Structure 1
Amino acid sequence: MSLSEEVQAARKNVVTDGYDMSLGEILNLYRDEELLIDPVFQRLFRWDDERKTRFIESIILGIPIPSIFVSQKDNGVWELVDGLQRISTVLQLVGELKGEVAEAKGALVLNGTRLLPSLNGKRWKESAPDAGDGLGTALQIEIKRARVRVEILKAESDAAAKFELFQRLNTGGVGLSEQEVRNSMAVSINRPFYDWMIDLANDPNFITTTQQTEAALKSQAGVELVLRFHAFRNVPYQSGLDVHEYLDQALITMASDGTFDLHTRGEEFNLTFQYINDALGSDAFKRWNGNIFSGKFLMSVFEVISKGVADNLEVMRQMTDEERNTFISSRAKNLWRNEIFSQNSGAGVRGTTRLSRLLPLATEVFQQ
């Protein structure tokens, strides 16, 4: 297929529309639940009060607002795709923001700016009669009349196109992790699939063996490990494909597959990490130096051991607890003497090379 043919084929997957709306109209759509911000997405509302104030200042000064992007559901309701920080700031200011995030953040009190120092301490409505800290009717009307372009990704666009749009646009200067972006799109594609991944990431055996730091947990690294586990077992890795692009596509493939058995796959996941925890505990995915396991969590070890154990569950089910623990422990230690593993698990090895070499190895290492 030529480049021009590839362009035409890709464009057919994206069906768009768009028009200008006032912020007041957008507020009404949100109030009437015709514009949705999923709670998972809403938790990514991270602008500090200074950035919120600068945005409100821009609206008051008549500076054009960048377009927002929404995805239209089959019932006609819009789901916010890009513009979370801007729209949530306006919603918080006027007191319309819903959910746990709204309760945690409370009312938005503006700071003073270089051009508008008198904004300092101002809020949408006065905190008390004659307090003098409200914006006033004139400014309220100006803010609600400010217009923004709404770009609409129509319902007939495919899931991959929605993911691409979300991934390319939804940065907002807040440094979302790759998995936070995936989580938000998983909600849009298949909410039960997202909930299932979150439940698995909270499995006690999984938490013990992966030993994720607070920073890693905050960036949803645990959920990414859950996704990696199921992707490696259910979506063949294409050699040379960027690892994150592979995970993106794997999520779309599994979440969009109506035959993907969440219950069975979940039981396999839980049993895998129960066996690994019983045998290795918190040392499961660390380096073996010949005497002890030490150091930090290693992705290459996780990929081989978790997939290897999962691919051989039927054999391991037939073992006694003691036999299984000894078997898994010995194979985990022997891994460090495996030439293929040693050559493809170091820090200088590209992720694409690592996966293409180590994923086939995983099943073999844990065969009886």
Structure 2
Amino acid sequence: MSLLDEVKAARKKVVTDGYEMSLGELINLYKDNELKIDPVFQRLFRWDDERKTRFIESLLLGIPFPPIFVFQNEGGIWELIDGLQRLSTLFQLTGDLKGERAQELGPLVLNGTQFLPSLDGKRWADSSDGAEDGIGQSLQIEIKRARVRVEILKSESDLAAKFELFQRLNTGGAGLTEQEVRNSIAVSINPDFYHWLIALSEYEPFRRTTAQTDSAIEAQAGVELVLRFLSFRSVPYRAGLDVHEYLDRALIEMATNRNFDKAGEDAIFVKTFRYLDEALSDQAFKRWNGHAFAGKFLMSVFEVLATGVSHNVAALEAMEADDRSGFIVRVARGIWNNNAFTTSSGAGVRGTTRLSKLLPIAAQLLNPNQ
């Protein structure tokens, strides 16, 4: 297939529409639940008051701003894909922002700016009602009449197109991690699957063995590790494929597969990290220096030990607890003398190379019957 043919085929997977709307219309759609911001997506609303004020200032000065992107589901409801910071700021200002996040934030009180110093301390209230700190009815109307382009991804589009659009638009200004982007789109694909990932990431032996910092937990690093674990077991990795692209596609494949054995994978996950916790606790995925496990969490060790244990759960379960733990410790030490592991896990080795080399040997290394 030529490049031109590939372009034509790909375009058929993306069905779009778009037009200009007033912000007042968007406010009404949101209030009527015809424009949806998922609560999981809403937690990524990160602008501080200064940046929110600059956006409101831009509206008052008539400065154009980029379009927002929505996905129109089969019921005609719009799901926000890009524009969270802008629309959430608008809804917070007008007092229409919904959910727990709205309660945390409270009313938006604006700051003074270089061009509009009198904005300082102002809020949405109508000064004609006696509110001395309100922006007044005329400016409220100005804001509601401001127009924005709305780009619409139709429900007929390929599901992967929705994911791709969301990811490409949301890996910039808000400082989202790859996994935060995945979390947000996973909710709209399969909420139960998303909540299951979260529940697994909170399993205490898993959290202890992966020794996550508070910042890593906040960035959803644990959820990504859970996704990696499940993906390595259920979706074959194709050599050369970008690791994050692989995880994106694996998430879609598992979350949309009605025959995916969640119960079976759940049981294997629990046993895998219980066995690793019993053997190594918070030292599980660190470097063996010849005397002790030390240093930081290593993804290469996680990929080998967690994947390898998971593929040998039945054999490991048949062992006495002390023997099982002793075996896992010996393997965790021994991989640092394994040439296949050391040459494929060192500094400078690309993730694509590491996965293609290490995943195939993981099950063999953790097989107690070898």
Mapping for residues 343-354 of structure 1, pairs under 5 Å: 343-354=343-354
Q: 2-side partners of 1:140 and 1:26: how far apart?
A: 14
**TM-score, with structure 1 as normaliser:** 0.98
Detail structure 1 runs of 4+ shifted over 4 Å in the superposition: 126-129
Instruction: Please say if 1:187 is aligned against 2:198.
Output: no
Could you tell me which residue of structure 2 aligns to residue 285 of structure 1? Answer: 285
Does the 8 Å CA contact 1:70/1:151 hold for their aligned counterparts? yes
Could you tell me which residue of structure 1 aligns to residue 157 of structure 2? Answer: 157
Q: Which runs of 5+ in 1 are unaligned?
A: none
Does the 8 Å CA contact 2:307/2:363 hold for their aligned counterparts? yes
Mapping for residues 69-108 of structure 1, pairs under 5 Å: 69-108=69-108
Structure 1, residues 260-295: CA drift from partner, whole Å, max 9, x if none? 122211111111101110111111001111221111
Letter in 2 for 1:169: L
Question: 1:219: Cα distance to partner?
Answer: 1.0
Q: 2-side partners of 1:127 and 1:299: how far apart?
A: 57
Could you tell me which residue of structure 1 aligns to residue 38 of structure 2? Answer: 38
Mapping for residues 89-238 of structure 1, pairs under 5 Å: 89-125=89-125, 130-171=130-171, 173-238=173-238
Secondary structure of the residue aligned to 1:20 is strand
Q: 1-side partners of 2:312 and 2:167: how far apart?
A: 35
Cα RMSD (Å): 1.3
Structure 1, residues 189-233: CA drift from partner, whole Å, max 9, x if none? 111111010000000000000001111111111100000001111
Could you tell me which residue of structure 2 aligns to residue 22 of structure 1? Answer: 22
Q: Which runs of 5+ in 2 are unaligned?
A: none
Structure 1, residues 290-347: CA drift from partner, whole Å, max 9, x if none? 2211111100000000000001111111111112111111111111110110111112
Question: 1:130: Cα distance to partner?
Answer: 3.4
Alpha carbons of structure 1 residues 307 and 24: separation in structure 2 relative to 1, 3 Å: same
Q: 2-side partners of 1:226 and 1:127: how far apart?
A: 52
Letter in 2 for 1:48: D
Instruction: Please say if 1:246 is aligned against 2:246.
Output: yes
Letter in 1 for 2:30: Y
Percent same amino acid among aligned pairs? Answer: 64
Letter in 2 for 1:9: A
Q: 2-side partners of 1:230 and 1:158: how far apart?
A: 24
Q: 1-side partners of 2:125 and 2:346: how far apart?
A: 58
Q: 2-side partners of 1:347 and 1:179: how far apart?
A: 23
Letter in 2 for 1:181: V
Does the 8 Å CA contact 1:85/1:172 hold for their aligned counterparts? no
Could you tell me which residue of structure 1 aligns to residue 324 of structure 2? Answer: 324
Secondary structure of the residue aligned to 2:66 is strand
Question: 1:128: Cα distance to partner?
Answer: 11
Does the 8 Å CA contact 2:186/2:194 hold for their aligned counterparts? yes
**TM-score, with structure 2 as normaliser:** 0.97
Letter in 2 for 1:68: I
Secondary structure of the residue aligned to 1:66 is coil
Q: 2-side partners of 1:270 and 1:62: how far apart?
A: 56
Does the 8 Å CA contact 1:193/1:255 hold for their aligned counterparts? yes
Does the 8 Å CA contact 2:287/2:293 hold for their aligned counterparts? yes
